[in-house]
Each structure stands twice: as structure tokens, then as C-alpha cells.
Amino acid sequence: MPIYEYACASCDERTERLLPHDRAGDPGPCPACDGRLERRFSRIAVKLEGWGFSATDGLVPDRPGRGDFKQVRERAERLSSGES
């Protein structure tokens, strides 16, 4: 479940709630004053894992041809398991 950030329309108190996506629009009252909470958009962290991303493409020194990620995947898996 995602964590959503809210600010109170009355007192500007900020709070976070861990809610399912379908309940993000109705977070309940402000914990400080029971006012109405409005959703704020905040930064998120995304980590792209697996082969085929630029972070793993450079792991094979003699870089294979475009679209041939088998070597890259195998090298990335060896590195992530502690092998060299």
C-alpha cells in the first residue's frame, strides 16, 4: 500500500497515511483539529531492477548488440549474488 501525504485545510498540519489506492481520497479527519485533510503530492522513489536498464547495461565490458540482454542479465545476476 502506498503512503500518502496530506495537509489540513484549517490548521495546515501535515500528516501521512498508509492507505489503499481506492481510499486515498478519503483519509479521514486531521489528527490535530479534526479539519479536512487535502492530499499533497510528494516525491517518490522508484528503483528499476533487472536487466535491460541503463544501470545494468554497462556491466558487460564488450557490450552485446542492441536487444541482446542475455549476457547483461547473466552478469548482473552473478554480481548481485556476490560472484565476479
Taking the whole predicted model, whether its pTM rises above 0.75 is answered as no
Residue 56: domain span? 46-84
Domain identity same for 53 and 75: yes
- Same domain? 34 vs 54: no
Is 7 in the same domain as 35?
A: yes
How confident is the model over 46-79, as pLDDT tens digits? Answer: 777 666 666 655 555 565 555 566 777 777 788 7
Q: What is the pLDDT of residues 5-24, one digit of tens each?
A: 999 999 999 999 998 888 88
Residues 50, 81, single domain; the answer is yes
My answer on whether 33 and 57 are in the same domain is no
Residue 18 vs residues 23, 27, 39, 69, 80: alpha-carbon distances, Å? 10, 9, 13, 37, 31
Name the domain count of the chain: 2
Q: What pLDDT sits at residue 44?
A: 73
